[in-house]
Every structure is written in structure tokens, then in C-alpha cells.
Amino acid sequence: MPRKGGKNGLDIEQIRSSVNALMACHQQYETFNGLLDALMNANDNLSDSKLADELGCEQFTVTSARQGTPEASYDFITKLVELKSNPLNIDQQNHRHILYAKAGFIEVTEESIATHNEDVLSGLKKLVYPNHPILEPKTDPAKLPQWGDVIKKLASFQLQAKTWVNIRAEAVVVNRGSVVDPVKFRDIPAVGRIANLVANEVKPHDPERLFLERALGLSAEQSKTLKDYHLDTGIKAKPTPFSQMLSAIIDDLGRGTQKRMVTLSKDPVSGESIHKTTFYRLRHGIGESPTIVTLRCLFRALDAYADKGRISPEKINQLLVLADGKYLPDDGDQLKGLAAASRFKFSATSHQVIAAIDAQNEPTKIGNLLAALSAASDISLTQDEIGEHLGVSKATWGMWERRVQVPIPTHVDAALSYFSLVMTRRSNGHDRLDIEERERVLLVARRDHIEYVSGSGIAPNKIIVGPDHTGPSAETQAEKIKQRRQPPDSSWVDFTR
């Protein structure tokens, strides 16, 4: 019986034979997108739109997976190997591990979770007792992973398929029905606190430790062993000149300043403000460098104190320069220039960001541009908000901003539509991105996408290659492959603290 939607009229047996022969030599495909493209061709040239209909997703999701920009998600692979319609006509039982592996995943099952956990704890045991598994001496705790590091490595396996929201929700249900020492609901950490615990930014309480270890599949015996290692817990603070100066300013302003500054940091239009936890991290140099949105909120609050004469403009200028990662210069005029440049960057609107594209004769990268636009004062959206609207994960958007991956222009266009909608709503219909501004951004997106896929050896649609183009070198292709997603690592071989 001919396959519906096929271009060459191949029957199902011919297709399955081609697919089996292809999967038998899958080693020749170094990436999932290459294998997916070959499988779709083997399925009588299955189109992107047809596969999208089978999977119940947007066509650009299939196109992105086929081009590898961004790489296919875990959910995408799961649909391919689980759907009863079996759109690629693979052997879903024997070929599934190949598809997961090509995409940089390991299938998440109860058995594979248990294996990963055992490998993580086995490697940790060798770190704690390098000479003998039982006898002393133990390794200096200051050189060992902290408890949060262990939880992070354990969780990395399940986070292939889930988010912390999912893991927590499932664990809450299991905990509710537990008859053996259930954790009280008030002691179950929220998702935000889990992120702080995993980053060793706060000290876990015993019920929190128990809940998270159970949520990640540790047995009671494994939890006891982990506790017996007496790993360090708590804050990984790395004070910076910026955090030290900010802390000194707050101390000078007196008791209760931090709470008042959280209130003063709020913008009445966008609603952006500094959370008290973020403020604490800023003061103590905990975690990554502050974002543009965070700095804008901070200096909004400091300006309110300056207006009352409580802080000198000179101090704010000095803090501005430190926030921008520059050393404080001796020249007063230079200080004013740097401070003004810093303030402009923190408070720039989307129109100003777009107007500055290639202003310094250095090619603007789409990742940097998306990060600046999402943080612009008239947009100010979180990665979660953007990802939810566009249907991409926070991690994917983050990889675009950090230039680990390059988005396809279709994704960028969708993001610009959302940004413009947000601007229109907040300005009561008076502001938006015009056609020329959107086209300037899309030109950057198209240029970077062509450069990215050419370097990956992927042929983008409708790209005209000049006669002097020799194609990506073997070194370039190898480097691109190295940068692709890697499966979760259970070893501690490269760990340093």
C-alpha cells in the first residue's frame, strides 16, 4: 500500500527496508539533525510539514531540528520513538537509544536514573576516600564538592526531560502519599529556593535535603551515606569591588535600607523590581554578574536616595563604572564618560539598542542583540516569559543569548512580534517596533544564521553560495560538533572547587 504524502510512491515495506539499512550504519551521521534528515529522505522524502502534523508541533520545530539550530529537544525525540503512528518507520524498541544518543541525551527511565545516581555517588566516594573506601584519611572537605554540587549532578540526568517545576511537583505528590517520614508541606522548598540550594547560595535545612534527595531518586541508605560524608553546605560568596562598594553604601544609609531599596527599585510601568534575594546576592557577590535589568532597578533606587541628598552623585558614578566591569580611572572627565556610557547601556530603550547596531563598525551578533532587546527598558522580559510565549525553553533562549547556538530567523521574527506587542500594551498603543527596525534585526539574524549553518556543514534553505566559497573546513566542522549538546556526566574527573 503506498505511503500517503510520499513523493515517490514507495510502499511501506520499501520504506522500512531503507530505514533499517540506514540505521544499521548510523555511525556515519555525527549529529542528530544529519540522521533526522536522512531518515526523512528515506521515508519517501517526508516533508517538514507532514512530520510536524504527525508529531503535533509547528513546522519550524521540525525545520529547526532538521537543521540543528537549535538542537532537537528531548520531547521531540520522545515523540519520534513513542508515537503509535511511528512517522519515521523506525524500530522503536531497538533504535530509540540511537536517536537519544545522537541528540546528546540518555533516555530517562527509572532504571537509568538509578544507574546515574549510583555512578555519581560511586565517584563521590572515591573523592572522599581516595586511598580506601572505608579507612581514613578522608579528603579535606574544602576540596570536595559541596552538597549543592552533588544535587546538581544528580538532577542533571532528569533535567534532560523535565524542569525543576516538574520534578518538585511529582515529588510533592509522592511525599503526600508517603507513610515513612513525610516532609511537611511548609518545609518543601519552592523552585526559586531549589535554584539557590543547588548553586550553594543558601544553607539547606534537613527537611529540604531529605525532600530533594528523595525527589531525585536516592534511597534512604544512599541519603544516609551522603550525609555521613559531611559535605560543606552554604554560600559560595565571591566579593567583588562592585559588591563591596554597594554593601558599604547600604551600611552608610542605615538600618532598613535594603528593604526600602527593594520598594524604590520598582518601575510603575513594566513592574520590574529587585527581589530581596537578588539584592542579597548583589551585596555579597553571590552567583553570576548582575543583569542589565537588575542594575537598572538598583540604580533607580539609588537615584531616589540621591534626589534626597543621601548619596553623592560621585559615589553613584563610581558604582556605575564598577558595575560595567571597568576599573575606576583617575581622570575625572573619563569617569564621567564611562559612567554616562554605563548608565546609557542600563537604561537604553529597544529603539536605542537597534539604532546602535554595528555603530562601532563591529558586526553585531544576534545573541547579544536579543539579550539587549529583552533587557531594554521598554521591554524588560525574563527568559521564562519569552520562552513561554515563543514555545522554546528558557535554556534554549539562554543559549541564543550566550551565542552557544544561533536561532533561525523565524524564531527571531516571532520574538520581535512579541516584543512589539509588549511595548504597545505598556504604552497604551503609542509605541512599537516599526518595520525598518525589525528588518535591521532580521538582517543580523539572517547573516548570523547563514554563517552558523555554513560552519556546521548544514545547507540552509535558499542560500546562494558564491563561487569562491570553499565550504567549512574539517576543523570548523569538528569544532561545531564539539559544541553540541553532551549527555549528562556522572563522573567527578574534572571537578575543581
Residues 221, 246, single domain; the answer is: no
Q: Is 60 exceeded by the pLDDT of residue 467?
A: no
Task: Share the mean pLDDT of the chain.
Answer: 84
Residues 200, 273, single domain; the answer is: no
pLDDT of residue 337: 67
pLDDT of residue 391: 83
pLDDT of residue 435: 94
pLDDT of residue 438: 95
Cα Rg of the chain (Å, integer): 26
Residue 4, domain member (yes or no)? no
Residues 16, 124, single domain; the answer is: no
pLDDT of residue 463: 33
Residue 265, domain member (yes or no)? yes
Domain boundary among 317, 347, 377: 347
Residues 129, 182, single domain; the answer is: yes
User: In the predicted model, what is the mean pLDDT of residues 283-299?
Assistant: 81
Q: Is 60 exceeded by the pLDDT of residue 329?
A: no
Residue 161, domain member (yes or no)? yes
Q: How confident is the model at residue 133 (pLDDT cuts 50, 70, 90)?
A: low
pLDDT by residue (tens digit) across 216-269? 999 999 999 999 888 988 776 778 888 889 989 988 988 888 788 888 888 877
pLDDT of residue 332: 53
Residues 114, 223, single domain; the answer is: yes
Residues 167, 215, single domain; the answer is: yes
Residues 270, 171, single domain; the answer is: no
Domain boundary among 85, 102, 119: 102
pLDDT of residue 60: 82
pLDDT of residue 26: 94
pLDDT by residue (tens digit) across 349-394? 999 999 988 765 668 889 989 988 998 989 988 888 898 888 888 8
Q: Is 50 exceeded by the pLDDT of residue 156?
A: yes
Residue 5, domain member (yes or no)? no
Residues 302, 390, single domain; the answer is: no
Q: Is 60 exceeded by the pLDDT of residue 214?
A: yes
Residues 79, 116, single domain; the answer is: no
Among the ranges given (53-57, 250-254, 273-277, 438-442), the one the predictor scored with the smallest mean pLDDT: 273-277
Calculate the alpha carbon distances from 248 to 27, 120, 276, 281 in Å. Answer: 59, 42, 17, 14
pLDDT by residue (tens digit) across 98-128? 999 999 999 999 999 999 999 999 999 988 8
Q: Is 60 exceeded by the pLDDT of residue 343?
A: yes
Number of structural domains (the chain) is 4
Residue 67, domain member (yes or no)? yes
Closest CA to 87 of 65, 67, 102, 114: 65
Give percent of the chain with pLDDT exceeding 70.
86
- pTM as predicted: 0.66
- Domain of 64, in residue numbers: 12-102
pLDDT by residue (tens digit) across 404-432? 788 999 999 999 999 999 999 988 888 99
Widest CA span of the chain, in angstroms?
A: 83
Q: How confident is the model at residue 333 (pLDDT cuts 50, 70, 90)?
A: low
Buried b (16+ CB within 10 A) or exposed e, 472-490: beeeebeebeeebbeebeb
Distance CA 322, CA 342 (A): 9
Of residues 290 and 97, the one with the higher pLDDT is 97
Residues 320, 271, single domain; the answer is: yes
pLDDT of residue 223: 95
pLDDT by residue (tens digit) across 54-97? 999 888 889 989 988 778 999 999 999 999 999 999 999 999 99
pLDDT of residue 132: 64
Residues 39, 86, single domain; the answer is: yes
Cross-strand bridge partners of residue 286: 237
pLDDT of residue 134: 58
Residue 214, domain member (yes or no)? yes
Residue 495, domain member (yes or no)? no
Residue 213, domain member (yes or no)? yes
pLDDT of residue 136: 61
Residues 341, 369, single domain; the answer is: no
Which residue type sits at 306? Answer: A
pLDDT by residue (tens digit) across 161-194? 998 989 999 999 999 988 788 999 999 999 888 9
